[in-house]
């Protein structure tokens, strides 16, 4: 910037040459793909959610699709289930992921093995995981209830009991995703400078004090990342629920994403799109303010 | 102290073994059993070990549907990942090297792309109007649109560690933008390119929802949609169902064994920078 003031012409020629080396048309193809397959459908979704629609012709019906969402119990409960599922899985991933990261950074033996075992499910096909656990959770023959039976506990119908099905799927989602949360927390914890621990040791801090006074505040960026990722993933969750319960029994474990698919299959494209819009707004209303709130004051700190 | 640590370690190994390893052993055991025995869903050693026969039968089922599905999945993954690498690197480079108002706009777009859920049926409508619905090309374009933000972030972060002097030296030598990027910059991105390839390969290979919506129809199955179809097909043939699960888990398992560190580091870096 200083150069421009002292040697105007030369600098602007250099800047021009400079910009020519970083041409904006490099953005062109990605921007076109992004616009075509994300921006246009999102904008179109707001319009089509107010119509009765079969992909070719659409008829404006005002708020009818949204009224349907509020009055039809199965659709309304899918919105509630989406929120429950996202919050339960996020809470568990944060708590368990943090605890596992503490254990894995504590100088325990077989660290590499433990981290690999916890992380591997992240890479496994969600459908494969879903099919496997729906067999493990079989009420009579599944090994979970057999194991419980062996110690005298009468295991419940994990996926067949309407009050349990959603939570059972949530538990499997945590099983699959906690490894990712753990490695993010590990990255956050190992980036804390050693001096903090040494100072704490000199001051005679207890292990619990080290965790609450040093690790939790200094690993905050990792915590924020885990919360935001788990929440956005949880709100959009579809594959695992579809593979394990198909939204059932009845509509007990239906979430917005599965309701959107069901309405699409049934040919109610306008109603299905209204579901997408509700999900879109839900993510906006929950994740964006939360992200802002979690990151508040960060700019001053830096 | 040492004894206490070892004790803790053994406890942790046993616990993670029960929680995280048992399901995989169950898959292996069931995939190795004869039909009637597998349908008992027990956690037991097969009385007769017939893993290879079951794998063969699972592959041959429904007129070798699994092979077609693997072909589709490989096609989808290879083409999408190749384009994601090239396009992601191009955007990441310009984004990092040209700060200013526009780069703030790119930032907003990338964050929106990472966070907001896509509108499915309107995407089908767009694909339909372009004649790309139920086509591999259509699904590839969708995968690129959804995968780009994460790739761009990884590339930008890596490119910020490459000194500008290298660009300037090439510009002085008279290199144009295309030569500068493809001959000077891109070859230096090797390590992040490997990371992006591995992460996106696993993601797209495991994707179920997008093929389900955008590439329906017989003969169009990817391995994930094929596995889902097997769920009803093999309802009374659990040995074949789990043989299929096993076949589909093997590619990511191999990648994990080869690139364990790279995968974990790449995913953490991408997540923390996003």
* B223/A125 Cβ within 8 A: yes
Which tokens sit at A255? 């979430």
- Residues from chain A contacting residue B171 (CB–CB below 8 Å): 17-18, 21
Residues B49-86: tens digit of each pLDDT: 999 999 999 999 888 999 999 999 999 999 999 999 99
* A141/B40 Cβ within 8 A: yes
SS3 A51: strand
Report the alpha-carbon distance of residue A288 to residue A282 in Å, rounded.
Answer: 10
Mean pLDDT of A166-170: 97
ipTM entry: 0.91
pLDDT for A15 equals: 62
pLDDT for A4 equals: 41
Predicted confidence band at B25 (pLDDT cuts at 50, 70, 90)?
Answer: very high
Q: Which of B42, B87, B120 to mutate to test the interface with A (most CBs of A within 10 A)?
A: B120
Report the alpha-carbon distance of residue A107 to residue A94 in Å, rounded.
Answer: 21
Number of alpha carbons in the 13 Å side-chain half-sphere of residue B171: 15
Residue A187 forms contact with B (CB below 8 Å): yes
Which has the minimum average pLDDT: A33-37, A126-130, A197-201? A197-201
- Unique residue bearing structure tokens 């419940």: A156
Cα–Cα–Cα angle for A39, B92, B150, rounded to 5 degrees: 60
pLDDT for A144 equals: 94
Predicted confidence band at B235 (pLDDT cuts at 50, 70, 90)?
Answer: confident
Which residue among A37, A48, A138 sits closest to B145, beta carbon to beta carbon? A37
Report the alpha-carbon distance of residue B12 to residue B84 in Å, rounded.
Answer: 39
Q: Which of A18, A25, A124, A220 to mutate to test the interface with B (most CBs of B within 10 A)?
A: A124
SS3 B122: helix
pLDDT for A85 equals: 98
pLDDT at B2 over 90: no
* A229/B271 Cβ within 8 A: yes
pLDDT at A8 over 50: no
Bridge partners (DSSP) of residue A53 are A58
* Chain A closest-CA separation from residue B64 CA (Å): 19
pLDDT for B270 equals: 76
Mean pLDDT of A242-246: 95
Closest CA to A183 of B206, B192, B272: B272
Mean pLDDT of A45-70: 91
Closest CA to A242 of B119, B224, B114, B245: B224
pLDDT for A55 equals: 86
pLDDT for A294 equals: 87
pLDDT at A9 over 80: no
Mean pLDDT of A126-144: 94
Residue A55 forms contact with B (CB below 8 Å): yes
Which tokens sit at A169? 């799927």
- Unique residue bearing structure tokens 């144009």: B176
Cα–Cα separations (whole angstroms), residue B86 to B107, B187, B233: 19, 12, 40
Q: Is the dihedral of CA A48, A50, A53, A59 positive or negative?
A: negative
* A45/B98 Cβ within 8 A: no
Report the alpha-carbon distance of residue A80 to residue A265 in Å, rounded.
Answer: 22
* B19/A276 Cβ within 8 A: no
pLDDT for A291 equals: 85
* A279/B120 Cβ within 8 A: no
Report the alpha-carbon distance of residue A248 to residue A257 in Å, rounded.
Answer: 14
Instruction: Provide, rounded to the nearest whole percent, the portion of chain A with pLDDT above 90.
Output: 65
Closest CA to A182 of A235, A124, A236, A117: A117
Mean pLDDT of B28-34: 94
pLDDT averaged over chain B? 91
Question: Cis bond leading into A249, ω under 30°?
Answer: yes
Mean pLDDT of B165-183: 89
pLDDT at B248 over 60: yes
Number of alpha carbons in the 13 Å side-chain half-sphere of residue B73: 27
> Are the C-beta atoms of A129 and B274 separated by less than 8 Å?
no
Residue A239, burial from CB neighbour count under 10 angstroms (0-12, 13-18, 19+): buried
pLDDT for A301 equals: 42
Bridge partners (DSSP) of residue A51 are A60
More confident position, A10 or B110: B110
Residues A223-235: tens digit of each pLDDT: 999 999 999 999 9
Instruction: Provide, rounded to the nearest whole percent, the portion of chain B with pLDDT above 70.
Output: 99
DSSP code at position A59: E
Model's pTM, two decimal places? 0.91
pLDDT for A69 equals: 86
- Residues from chain B contacting residue A184 (CB–CB below 8 Å): 268, 271-272
Residues A91-120: tens digit of each pLDDT: 999 999 999 999 998 888 888 889 999 999
pLDDT for A109 equals: 83
pLDDT for B12 equals: 86
pLDDT for A3 equals: 41
Mean pLDDT of B242-252: 94
- Unique residue bearing structure tokens 């591997």: A120
SS3 A252: coil
Residues B4-15: tens digit of each pLDDT: 778 888 888 899
* A37/B142 Cβ within 8 A: yes
Instruction: Taking each helix axis as running N to C, give the angle between helix A220-236 and helix A165-190, from 0 to 180 degrees, rounded to the nearest 10.
Output: 150
- Unique residue bearing structure tokens 């891109």: B186
Report the alpha-carbon distance of residue A259 to residue B120 in Å, rounded.
Answer: 12
More confident position, A36 or B234: A36
């Amino acid at each position: 910037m200083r150069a421009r003031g002292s040697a105007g012409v030369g600098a602007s020629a250099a800047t021009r040459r400079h910009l020519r080396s970083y041409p904006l048309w490099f953005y062109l193809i990605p921007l076109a793909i992004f616009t075509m397959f994300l921006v246009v459908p999102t904008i179109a979704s707001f319009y089509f959610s107010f119509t009765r629609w079969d992909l070719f012709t659409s008829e404006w019906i005002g708020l009818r699709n949204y009224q349907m969402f509020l009055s039809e119990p199965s659709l309304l409960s899918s919105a509630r289930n989406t929120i429950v599922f996202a919050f339960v899985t996020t809470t568990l991933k944060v708590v368990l992921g943090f605890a596992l990261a503490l254990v894995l950074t504590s100088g325990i033996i077989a660290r590499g093995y433990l981290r690999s075992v916890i992380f591997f499910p992240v890479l496994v096909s969600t459908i494969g995981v879903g099919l496997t656990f729906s067999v493990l959770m079989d009420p009579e023959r599944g090994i979970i209830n057999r194991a419980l039976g062996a110690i005298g506990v009468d295991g419940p119908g994990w996926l067949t009991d309407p009050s349990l099905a959603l939570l059972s799927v949530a538990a499997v989602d945590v099983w699959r995703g906690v490894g990712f949360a753990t490695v993010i927390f590990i990255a956050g914890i190992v980036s804390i400078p050693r001096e903090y621990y040494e100072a704490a040791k000199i001051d005679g801090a207890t292990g619990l004090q080290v965790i609450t006074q040093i690790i939790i505040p200094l690993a905050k960026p990792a915590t924020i990342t885990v919360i935001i990722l788990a929440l956005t993933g949880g709100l959009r969750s579809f594959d695992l629920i579809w593979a394990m319960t198909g939204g059932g029994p009845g509509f007990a474990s239906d979430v917005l994403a599965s309701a959107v698919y069901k309405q699409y299959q049934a040919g109610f494209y306008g109603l299905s799109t209204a579901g997408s819009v509700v999900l879109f707004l839900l993510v906006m209303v929950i994740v964006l303010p939360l992200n802002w709130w979690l990151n508040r004051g960060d700019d001053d700190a830096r | 102290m040492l004894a206490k640590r070892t004790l803790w370690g053994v406890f942790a190994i046993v616990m993670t073994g029960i929680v995280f390893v048992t399901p995989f052993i169950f898959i292996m055991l069931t995939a190795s059993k004869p039909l009637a025995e597998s349908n008992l869903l027990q956690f037991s050693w097969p009385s007769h070990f017939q893993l290879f026969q079951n794998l063969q039968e699972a592959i041959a089922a429904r007129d070798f549907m699994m092979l077609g599905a693997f072909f589709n999945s490989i096609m989808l993954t290879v083409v999408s990942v190749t384009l994601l690498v090239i396009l992601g690197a191009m955007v990441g480079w310009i984004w990092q090297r040209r700060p200013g108002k526009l780069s703030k706009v790119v930032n907003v777009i990338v964050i929106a792309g990472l966070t907001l859920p896509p509108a499915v049926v309107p995407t089908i409508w767009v694909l339909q109007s372009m004649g790309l619905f139920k086509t591999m090309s259509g699904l590839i374009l969708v995968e690129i649109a959804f995968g780009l933000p994460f790739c761009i972030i990884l590339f930008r972060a890596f490119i910020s560690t490459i000194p500008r002097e290298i660009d300037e030296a090439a510009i002085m030598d008279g290199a144009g933008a295309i030569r500068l990027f493809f001959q000077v910059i891109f070859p230096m991105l090797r390590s992040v390119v490997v990371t992006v390839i591995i992460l996106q390969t696993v993601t797209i290979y495991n994707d179920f929802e997008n093929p389900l919506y955008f590439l329906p129809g017989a003969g169009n199955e990817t391995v994930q949609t094929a596995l889902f179809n097997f769920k009803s097909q093999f309802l009374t043939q659990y040995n074949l169902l789990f043989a299929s699960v096993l076949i589909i888990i093997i590619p990511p398992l191999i990648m994990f064994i080869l690139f364990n560190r790279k995968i974990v580091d790449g995913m953490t870096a991408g997540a923390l920078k996003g």
